[in-house]
Structure 1
């Protein structure tokens, strides 16, 4: 039951982040698409931070913090599930190092997002830009280490296709984010503010899909809690069918006493052994002197006494 709840963590994080972005866009459009004081000359599409530094700053801080904290929990849960064997176990110490580095980088990225929402671009523009780099860089580095870990795991667990799919999804995120961040930086330097603003919104929504990709990483843990072991399945096949005891385990005659329909081994052994032994011994004993044999003083059996003659008294 625990494993079933883990997969919802990245979904909650992604939903919170998407809700935050959509709420900011809707608010900006609903208020007449105002031009904020932090927007540059000729800029008519605001950056996320332009909207977040105004009336919606408390919401921006709260939802951003809730999103990244929840997302970082997914890294901790993933580490726990691999350690306990509910997900494919790490096969080397280096894989555990990659996982730890991914978690640390994700925590740094989370701290960057929270701080950039607090230190807005209206009053703390320099700090805001620094924390923006920490946020983006932290999660890109985290994705690199996650891909590194999954690539090594995929070599040892080739039968687990989910590792391969997750690896390629996260690798695609890395390349797309790096390309978009470079384009964003170039457009900002060239004073193409509107293009840079559009790229920033794309980067933000792409991060949302990256968070969602962790949903598939927890699916094997859900199946682990509901599947029967290989040994149980083999035992069921040997016993001729999927008879169950109600908890997913296969029945076996050795687990029961006094079954109404015992398995054939018990039936033949009990019926033939008990019936033949008891019937032959009891019948023969009674036929040959009621089952009691007297002995001489030396310990030898006495010959059977002849049966008494019929009475002549009519």
Structure 2
């Protein structure tokens, strides 16, 4: 299954050695967009916007729906495109003969990889549309797109974790990859825990805490995106190593 989709990119329209740029752009752009919105809100005296749901700490959409919406749209557009590029890169390098070359992977893992790609695309598109419809007169569309964005990101994160779990827990096959897999998985778990706190406090009416945890959750997302650099460039300029001579050796030195 996976052989069909990755073979179409066998000539690498994007150089296999430059795929690490996708997670760098995605994480840094998202981090910058959030920081611009937060600094602006603090710089103008922490105002309370019209129709602001949280009276203490505004949600990101409350700030973005005001005069800084163009910044939010551009930031989400770049983040969304580079996020899908990140998902593609992370799954492509796993099966590309020019990188890890795990073309004999389990069928269920290859199927989950495809699900991650579809979910990543859905999350990326929803994020861009979310920024466009983040206005005071589009609350219902904003809510649906927000759910679609978080749903796509969540499914993509979980399925990607399942696909790469063998490298985090199994025998060391590719030197240096395990630490990145474990770091990425720990960020996924942290985001899940923070997301539960955020939703629980929001529905419980504790807006001060929920507002803080929403910002923590979104900033964790930026670091999660950047952590995928380790999947796509961790062996650059290094000699491949393995703990067992019978294990597969990296195909890219």
**Common topology (TM > 0.5):** yes
Aligned-CA RMSD value: 2.4
The residue that corresponds to 1:101 in the other structure is 115
Q: Report deviation, 1:121.
A: 5.4
**Distance across 2 between alignment mates of 1:222 and 1:210:** 20
- Correspondences of 1:208-219 after superposition (within 5 Å): 208-219=222-233
Which sections of structure 2, spanning at least 5 residues, go unmatched? Answer: 1-13, 241-253
- Residue 31 in 1 paired to residue 47 in 2? no
**Deviating runs (4+, > 6 A) in structure 1?**
none
Give the direction of change, closer, same or farther, for the CA distance of 1:141–1:162 in structure 2 (3 Å limit): farther
Q: d(CA) in 2 for partners of 1:155 and 1:175?
A: 16
| Superimposed CA distance per residue, residues 86-139 of structure 1 (whole angstroms, 9 cap, x where no aligned partner) | 322223233322221111111111122122212225212222122222212211
Spell out, residue by residue over 1:164-197, the C-alpha distance to the aligned partner (whole angstroms, 9 max, x if none).
Answer: 2233223223322222222112211222212111
Q: Which position in structure 1 is the counterpart of 2:166? A: 152
Aligned mate of 1:206, from 214, 220, 227: 220
Query: Residue 184 of structure 2 contacts residue 228 of structure 2 at CA under 8 Å; is this kept in 1?
Result: no
Distance 1:191 1:35 in 2: 17
**What's 1:6 paired with?**
19
Aligned equivalent of 1:70, options 82, 91, 102 = 82
Describe the superposition over 1:10-41 as per-residue Cα deviations: whole angstroms up to 9, x where unpaired.
11111111110111111112222211012247
For structure 1, the residue ranges without an aligned partner over 5 or more in a row are: 229-314
State the TM-score, normalizing by the size of structure 2.
0.80
Match of 1:114 in 2: 128
Tell me the number of residue pairs that the alignment of Structure 1 and Structure 2 aligns.
Answer: 225
Q: Deviations over 1:235-259 (max 9, x none)?
A: xxxxxxxxxxxxxxxxxxxxxxxxx
Structure 1 residue 221, shift from structure 2 partner? 6.0
Normalising by structure 1, we get a TM-score of 0.65
| 1:12-51 equivalent positions in 2, closer than 5 A | 12-40=25-53, 43-51=55-63
Please tell me whether the aligned partners of residues 87 and 221 of structure 1 are also in contact (alpha carbons under 8 angstroms).
no
1:218 aligns to what SS in structure 2? Answer: helix
Distance 1:121-1:149 versus aligned 2 partners, 3 A rule? same
Residue 189 of structure 2 is matched in structure 1 by 175
Separation (CA, whole Å) in 1 of partners of 2:169 and 2:186: 19
Q: Which has the higher contact order (CA 8 A, sep 6+)?
A: 2
In structure 1, the residue corresponding to 2:236 is in which secondary structure?
A: helix
CA-CA distance at 1:48 after TM superposition:
0.4
Provide the C-alpha distance between the structure 1 equivalents of 2:160 and 2:115, rounded to a whole number of angstroms. 9
Larger radius of gyration: 1
Question: d(CA) in 1 for partners of 2:171 and 2:100?
Answer: 8
